[in-house]
Chains A and B, each alone.
Chain A
């Protein structure tokens, strides 16, 4: 297994914790990744919590926490609803996202477009390692890469997945792996965190 070396651009993830704010939006890629205790908002009863879950599951909390849960069958309808929510939301909103890396950064990119700052977002990584890779040669973004070497489906080059992460693109940078000596490639290894 190959560990991607941590550099300044490598994202750091946290464990979601509901903060003190007026309104909270929690987005979860898979219902089973949401620990029920996450749904206990702070004592401030005036704040409201919205939970958006991908997949046809209704999240039930073991605590008497008050929240509104909606589930979505596909990412398209989920992100459309997130956009609708953000376009109406007021300052004092905190965003929490639990999911795979591509899912986290999709949410982050949408929220950034609405002016949500990084200190108002918490991103919690879940599931098996998977990375989006941006091909610097043809600018195609390849989804859910699981190995250190990937073939770009757009231009066919074999890309080495670099540590350099772009928050704007939500992807790691992929560079042709055999550019110096054509055909000479390192061994393929699975990515781990």
Chain B
């Protein structure tokens, strides 16, 4: 089964610096006035295709625009020094007026509308999916708290989203100003749903603390857009296509497949959604995703090409 992955064309209408490392982009339909974008729900993201002279990057970005907005999609991009290049490329190469190819919005991180309360925990640029939660939860009239562990340059740059709301708490990485996760979790009334987005260390800490305290699995929600870290180079043999693809150490398996013109379904590109799940015919995958169960991992019959790699020099895939 092939998913219908539509592509949309967007034009960078405006760019502004929120901080030295954070850029805010306003993206509008590429062609003509009066065109409307598909409305997106709170927590949605789009995947941008970014073409460098030598490489193509596909990065997922949360929409920070108001849910339902049809005039523009807004995103915030952090420049990561050791990024795989996409975000660095936006900071360096993209200017107002640039055309970008994107996927339509998808949502792997929607707030649970039947919940009684919501607890949002973010760190760093992980705040972005929650910027669209704020108007949504306000409109639903459901109580929520936002706890944001900000870097030095992020202390004030989201003020225009937070406003004067008393339920937004900002923490600093300074002794006495850090978020005490277990204490926060212990204080939550029954009926709370937990959402977390940020670096893996924070998400793992929050989720592990919640599980230890007996929070049931259905109340825990995490958004992971981790850029795949590299590894050693390997070769994939594509059984159905009948050729080999070389995967360099600093390129993900999915990126390498796409660069070779192989059609591979994908969505989040961070090992979370499971859309790119591919059958392994030979060889051992090195699993780096959050989708496969422990049993599926040890079986080694499937791989998530967006983040996972090969343990040995060669993998044979059913592609």
Chain A residues proximal to chain B, CB less than 8 Å: 19-23, 47, 86, 89-94, 114-120
Which chain A residue shows the least CB distance to B116?
A: A115
- B residues less than 8 Å from A20 (CB atoms): 214
The contact string, 1 if C-beta is below 8 Å from chain A, for chain B 3-35, is 000000000000000000000000000000000
Q: How far is the CA of A119 from the CA of B217 in the complex (A)?
A: 7
Is the beta-carbon distance between A92 and B116 smaller than 8 angstroms? no
Q: Which residues of A contact B295 (CB under 8 A)?
A: none
A119 touches B218 (CB 8 A): yes
B190-203: contact bitstring with A at CB < 8 Å (1 yes, 0 no)? 11100000000000
Chain B nearest CB from A181 CB (Å) reads 42
CB-defined contacts of A19 to chain B, threshold 8 Å: 214
Return chain A residues, CB-CB under 8 Å to B147.
none
B117 an interface residue at 8 Å Cβ cutoff?
A: yes
CB-based contact A91/B116 at 8 Å: no
- Is B234 in the interface zone, CB < 8 Å from A? no
Rounded to whole Å, the gap between the CB of B213 and the closest CB of chain A is 4
Given A22-B213, A114-B116, A115-B116: A91 and B190 within 8 A (CB)?
A: yes
Ordered by A's residue number, 27 sampled pairs between the chains whose C-beta atoms are within 8 Å are A20-B214, A21-B213, A21-B214, A22-B213, A23-B214, A47-B214, A89-B189, A89-B190, A90-B188, A91-B188, A91-B189, A91-B210, A91-B213, A91-B215, A92-B186, A92-B213, A93-B190, A93-B214, A94-B214, A114-B190, A115-B115, A115-B117, A115-B192, A116-B190, A118-B218, A119-B216, A119-B218
Chain A residue numbers with a CB within 8 Å of B213 are 21-22, 91-92
Determine whether B156 belongs to the interface, using a CB cutoff of 8 Å to chain A.
no
The 8 Å CB contact of B214, one of A92, A114, A115, A118, is: A92
For the complex of A and B, the 6 pairs showing the least CB-CB separation, nearest first, are A115-B191, A21-B214, A115-B116, A92-B214, A119-B216, A120-B216
The answer to whether B116 touches A90 (Cβ under 8 A) is no
Question: For B233, what are the chain A residues with a Cβ–Cβ distance below 8 Å?
Answer: none
Q: How far is the CA of A1 from the CA of B92 in the complex (A)?
A: 76
Residues of B within 8 A of A119 (CB): 216-218
* A2 to B205 alpha-carbon distance, docked (Å): 52
A86/B216 in contact, CB under 8 A: no
The number of chain B residues with a CB under 8 A from chain A is 19
**Across-interface contacts of B186 in A (CB, < 8 A):** 22, 90, 92
Distance in angstroms from B192 CB to nearest chain A CB is 5
Q: In the bound complex, do residue B218 and residue A117 qualify as a contact, i.e. CB atoms below 8 Å apart?
A: yes
Residue numbers in A under 8 Å from B232 (CB-CB): none
What residues make up the interface of B, taking CB atoms closer than 8 Å to A?
A: 115-117, 185-192, 210, 213-219
In the bound assembly, the distance between CA atoms of A154 and B218 in angstroms comes to 39
A90 to B191, CA, bound (A): 8
Q: Which of A21, A23, A92, A116 is in CB contact (< 8 Å) with B191? A: A116
Chain B residues near A47 (CB-CB < 8 A): 214
A104 → B minimal CB distance (Å): 18
Question: In the bound complex, how far is the Cα of B190 from the Cα of A116, in angstroms?
Answer: 6
Q: Write the nearest CB–CB distance from B14 to chain A, whole angstroms.
A: 40
Q: State A176–B192 Cα separation when bound (angstroms).
A: 41
Instruction: State the Cβ distance, B112 to closest chain A Cβ, in Å.
Output: 9
A sample of 18 more A-B contacts (CB under 8 A), given A115-B116, A116-B191, is A19-B214, A22-B186, A86-B190, A90-B186, A90-B188, A91-B185, A91-B189, A91-B214, A92-B214, A115-B115, A115-B117, A115-B190, A115-B191, A115-B192, A119-B216, A119-B217, A119-B218, A120-B219
A13 to B18, CA, bound (A): 53
Tell whether, in the assembled complex, residue A90 and residue B217 are in contact, meaning their CB atoms are under 8 Å apart.
no
Q: Which residues of chain B have C-beta atoms less than 8 A from A91's C-beta?
A: 185, 188-190, 192, 210, 213-215, 219
Contact status of A92 and B189, CB under 8 A, knowing A114-B116, A115-B116, A115-B117: no
CA gap between A89 and B187 in the complex, in Å: 10
When distances are taken between beta carbons in the complex, the residues of chain B under 8 Å from A117 are: 216, 218-219
* Pairwise interchain contact B218-A90, C-beta atoms closer than 8 A: no
Contact indicator A22/B214 (Cβ below 8 Å): yes
Chain B nearest CB, measured from A133 CB (Å): 26
Cβ–Cβ < 8 Å partners of A89 in chain B: 189-190
In the complex, which residues of chain A have a beta carbon less than 8 angstroms from the beta carbon of B191?
A: 114-116
Least CB distance from B207 to A in Å reads 13
- Residue of B with least CB distance to A19: B214
Name the residue in B115, B188, B213 with the highest tally of chain A Cβ atoms < 10 Å from its Cβ.
Answer: B213
Whole-angstrom CA separation of A86 from B190 in the bound complex: 7
A21 to B190, CA, bound (A): 13
Set of chain A residues within 8 Å of B219, measured between Cβ atoms: 91, 117, 120
A20 to B216, CA, bound (A): 10
Complex Cα distance, B212 from A5, in Å, reads 39
Residues of B within 8 A of A86 (CB): 190
CA distance in complex: A117, B191 (Å): 8
